[in-house]
């Protein structure tokens, strides 16, 4: 078994979904998590706050410097992620496909190295 990171590729610009729009999405995400758990594939799921809430720590000689904001500004950001266990890429891609169906955003599937 290998582990895969399913990242939610979230657009940075444009309108953010309203609470009403989010509700059915969250219900589908919950259902998917249950399905993953029942299949023994689920490891972890989390949704992230906006990148504007991030703080970056940079090594500065012996010191650590604090910087406001995300480490890289991009058109998209990591909005949330799920870690699954899967025997191979096809199985991981199936979970990825179901995540796309639940959230309606692009999902990046990437294997863990260790």
Q: Are 64 and 58 in contact (CB under 8 A)?
A: yes
| Nearest distance, CB of residue 97 and other proteins, angstroms | 10
Q: In this structure, what token pair is assigned to residue 100?
A: 């796309």
Site pattern 34..73 for other proteins (x: CB under 8 A)? ----------------------------------------
CB nearer to other proteins: pick between 32 and 86:
86
Quickly count: other Cβ atoms within 10 Å of residue 52's Cβ. Answer: 10
3-state per-residue secondary structure call for 17-55: CCHHHHHHHHHHHHHHHHHHHHCCCEEEEEECCCHHHCE
Instruction: Indicate the residue among 29 and 96 with the shorter CB distance to other proteins.
Output: 96
Residues numbered 66 to 95 that lie near other proteins (CB under 8 A) are 87-90, 93
Q: How far is CA 89 from the centre of its chain?
A: 17
Our CB check for other proteins shows the closer of 17 and 87 to be 87
Residues at the site binding other proteins, with contacts judged by CB under 8 A: 2, 87-90, 93, 109-111, 113
């Amino acid at each position: 078994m290998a582990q895969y990171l399913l990242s939610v590729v979230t657009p940075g610009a444009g309108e953010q979904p309203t609470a009403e729009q989010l509700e059915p999405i969250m219900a589908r995400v919950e259902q998917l998590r249950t399905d993953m758990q029942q299949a023994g594939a689920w490891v972890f799921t989390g949704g992230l706050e906006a990148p504007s809430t991030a703080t970056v720590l940079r090594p500065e000689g012996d010191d650590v410097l604090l910087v406001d904001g995300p480490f890289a500004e991009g058109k998209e950001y990591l909005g949330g992620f799920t870690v699954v266990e899967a025997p191979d890429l096809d199985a991981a891609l199936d979970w990825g496909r179901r995540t796309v169906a639940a959230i309606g955003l692009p999902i990046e599937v990437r294997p863990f190295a260790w």
